[in-house]
Amino acid sequence: MKKITLVQMKTGAKGRIVQLEGGPAFESRLSAMGVRIDKHIVKLSAFVLQGPVAIRSGNTVLALGYGMASKIWVELIKK
Amino acid sequence: MKKIVLIGNPNVGKSVLFSRLTGVRVLVSNYPGTTVEFLEGYVNIDGEQMKILDLPGTYSLEPNAPAEEVAVKMIEEADLVINVVDATNLERNLYLTMTLLEQRRPMIIALNMFDDIKHRGISIDVAKLEDLLGVSVAPTSGITGLGIKQLKERLVEAKPGQFDRGTHQERWQKIGDIIDKVQQLSHRHHTLFEILEDASVNHAWGVAIAIFIIAFSFKTVRFLGEGLIKYVLEPFFQLVYKPVLESFSIYLQNKPFLHNILLGRMIDNNIDFEKSMGLLTTAPYIEFVIVLPYIFAFYLLLSFLEDIGYMPRLALLLDNIMHRLGLHGFAIIPILLGFGCNVPGIIATRILESKRERFIASTIISIGVPCAALQAMIFGMLGKFGARYVIAVYLVLFSVWLFLGAALNRLLKGYSPELFIEIPPYRWPDFKLLFKKMFLRIKGFVVDALPIVLLSVLIINLLQQIELFESISQFFAPLLNKVFGLPKEAAWALIVGFLRKDIAVGMLIPLKLTVKQMMIACVVLSMSFPCVATFIIFLKELGPRRLFQAVLITLSITFLGGATMNFFLH
């Protein structure tokens, strides 16, 4: 299965997080807010010109900067 | 006295629960040696008075930020920990619960927003949850008051958690097992609130909604502010307060000095609230009639938008622009607060991570963000000529913050951290709490502003009496005339602007400026030196070196901005 980053994902697409590429501190910060390997997420929106990305993970909606979003890799889940 | 600590993720209704538990006597404190604020109150359990502390919301106990470090220390010092958990978001909330249980302090869980889970299609087996976590779980609802009494009664059941310290994978593993056993989700239809929630983070709909909300807020603030002035305060001052002052004036007839200080000069044998410059006339008039109504309206709107959960959405939408200024979207919160009064705005920059961000945000606030006092005057003075002039002033100021922020971002070393925030669901605010917060903000403003308003009016009053005005005006005449195209009499207004911006604009009224001059004066006043209160808070929060840099930037930008406007406007 091909993996892509949150940035490359299309708005509305669903995915499973497979890799976090930013070191342990980055991982634990994300983890505390529920973003972790194997978690299913939906991309809600993205903003132009390297703007932030919004995702839904469980019942939580999160906003992440472009840089952070490009370090989170997902595998798309087909409907 | 026993100490209870209230801890939980942000947006779980912790403050509402706290106010339910404590009632009225609440104090805002700082943890010694930090800028981390928490609330302190008292609760009576079985006749025993206990102190209860409301910590800032946190997602973990890993010391990533000052708030978390403080949380760890306070938990160590506490006799009892109440972990507030959002029942509508159990899985994510349990992460903090796990780390708390690892601390092995006596603890109980308040499963908050419990009344909200049914219509979200969630069901939770509370008994099983208690069993698996090994501590008591009390379902509560801060909004309705459900379960608060039971929570108080069950505090005695608090006991230390029995979990060993784990990695975050291990914690999530345990949480996964627990969730499988206690929580069931059923399908249900989206509510209107949820549809709006999704729309407001969408790149197209979100922007449209934001523009609507900002325009609506602007209109409402004007409508409320003007309404209060026209129908409540102006009549009160003219019909009730003025006659009192007039009899006082007769009483003071033989004491001209005192008359002059308290009531000011009589204009055409009449007390003129705008021009008399007395401590009992112009000072309270500017503070309470012209400025306070807008402060009231502004904080009402702002507190509402905060409590309903709109602000993080605005942070998301503006992140892109803010990034160019070396900030991230969340910085919009202190900046918006600055539109009320720059002082709390600069204090609120504490929520930003780095010193660099705090400097950029504080400088933008003190230069490019006109406070409500100044805005009230801008509306009043420039609004008469037409809305487009008011809009033009705002556009000039807005381009100044874009330009200034971009320049600072280039010049200052360091990088801008990234946005990473939760966007909470919309929730109908608890109005009691909202009004309390609003009242504290307004009180803070009046307490800070009133002494300075009185002092400025007094100084102007005395200076008018010794006729120093002329020589000072003469000294600044070339600068004002050639660079800004303003009459030399405006010098005093600009100097007074350092004390209070609103009084400064008030001093421009008798000068009969043209629209162009008025626009320049408004822009120059709002960009030039911050008022003395802002000055002091800037010094306190960021230190003398940063303040000095900000003042240099301020002076050059004012000079450039004013001169450019004078050159290009006709």
Domain extent for A9: 3-76
- Residue B136 token pair: 């008591």
* C-alpha to C-alpha distance for B76 and B413, rounded to whole angstroms: 37
- Provide mean pLDDT across the span B272-287: 85
Which among B316, B320, B417 has the least Cβ separation from residue A54? B316
Q: What pLDDT was estimated at residue B4?
A: 92
Same domain, B292 and B381: yes
Domain extent for B456: 205-415+430-568
CB within 8 Å of B39: residues ≥ 6 apart:
B15, B18, B26, B27, B28, B29, B53, B54
Same domain, B321 and B461: yes
Which among A31, A58, A64 has the least Cβ separation from residue B419? A64
CA distances, B128 to each of B125, B140, B154 (Å): 6, 17, 17
Among B157, B185, B213, the domain-final residue is B185
Sheet holding A53-57, edge to edge: A3-5, A72-76, A14-20, A40-46, A53-57, A60-64, B420-423
CB pair distance less than 8 Å for A65 and B421: no
Domain assignment present for B423: no
The partner residues of A19 in beta bridges, in order of sequence, read: A73
Same domain, B166 and B230: no
CATH number of the domain bearing residue B121 = 3.40.50.300
Question: Which positions in chain A touch B425 (Cβ < 8 Å)?
Answer: 61
Per the structure, how many domains does chain B have?
A: 2
CATH number of the domain bearing residue A60 = 2.30.30.90
Q: Write out pLDDT tens, residues B393-446.
A: 899 999 988 889 899 888 888 777 888 888 888 888 888 888 888 888 888 888
**A68, pLDDT greater than 70:** yes
Smallest CA–CA separation between A16 and chain B, in Å?
16
- Residue B276 token pair: 């008399």
Query: What percent of chain B has pLDDT above 90?
Result: 15
Q: Does B321 touch chain A (CB under 8 A)?
A: no
When mean pLDDT is compared across B234-248, B461-475, B516-530, the lowest value belongs to B461-475
Domain assignment present for B145: yes
* C-alpha to C-alpha distance for B446 and B290, rounded to whole angstroms: 13
Q: What pLDDT was estimated at residue B376?
A: 82
Smallest CA–CA separation between B457 and chain A, in Å?
48
Per the structure, how many domains does chain A have?
A: 1
Which among A25, A37, A68 has the least Cβ separation from residue B420? A68
Which among B312, B317, B328 has the least Cβ separation from residue A65? B328
Q: Does B403 touch chain A (CB under 8 A)?
A: no
**B66, pLDDT greater than 80:** no
**A8 or B25: which leads in pLDDT:** A8
Q: What is the DSSP string of B417-458?
A: PPPEEEEPPP----HHHHHHHHHHHHHHHHHHHHHHHHHHHH
Same domain, B50 and B83: yes
* C-alpha to C-alpha distance for B259 and B277, rounded to whole angstroms: 11
Question: Which positions in chain B touch A46 (Cβ < 8 Å)?
Answer: 203
Q: 96-125 in B: which are within 8 Å (CB) of A?
A: 96, 120
Cα dihedral A47→A52→A53→A55 (10° resolution) = -130
For B159, other C-beta atoms within 10 Å of its C-beta total 14
Among B153, B185, B217, the domain-final residue is B185
Q: What pLDDT was estimated at residue B125?
A: 92
Q: Does A51 touch chain B (CB under 8 A)?
A: yes
Question: Which positions in chain B touch A19 (Cβ < 8 Å)?
Answer: none
Q: Write down the residue that tokens 């490009």 correspond to.
A: A70
* C-alpha to C-alpha distance for B88 and A77, rounded to whole angstroms: 25
Residue B100 confidence class, pLDDT cut points 50, 70, 90: very high
Same domain, B160 and B286: no
Q: Does A33 touch chain B (CB under 8 A)?
A: yes
Domain assignment present for B190: no
Q: What element of type H or E holds A4? A: strand A3-5
Same domain, B178 and B209: no
Smallest CA–CA separation between B498 and chain A, in Å?
38
* C-alpha to C-alpha distance for B212 and B227, rounded to whole angstroms: 22
Q: Write out pLDDT tens, residues B189-239.
A: 777 777 888 888 888 888 899 899 988 988 888 889 889 988 999 999 999
Q: What pLDDT was estimated at residue B83?
A: 94
Among B127, B151, B185, the domain-final residue is B185
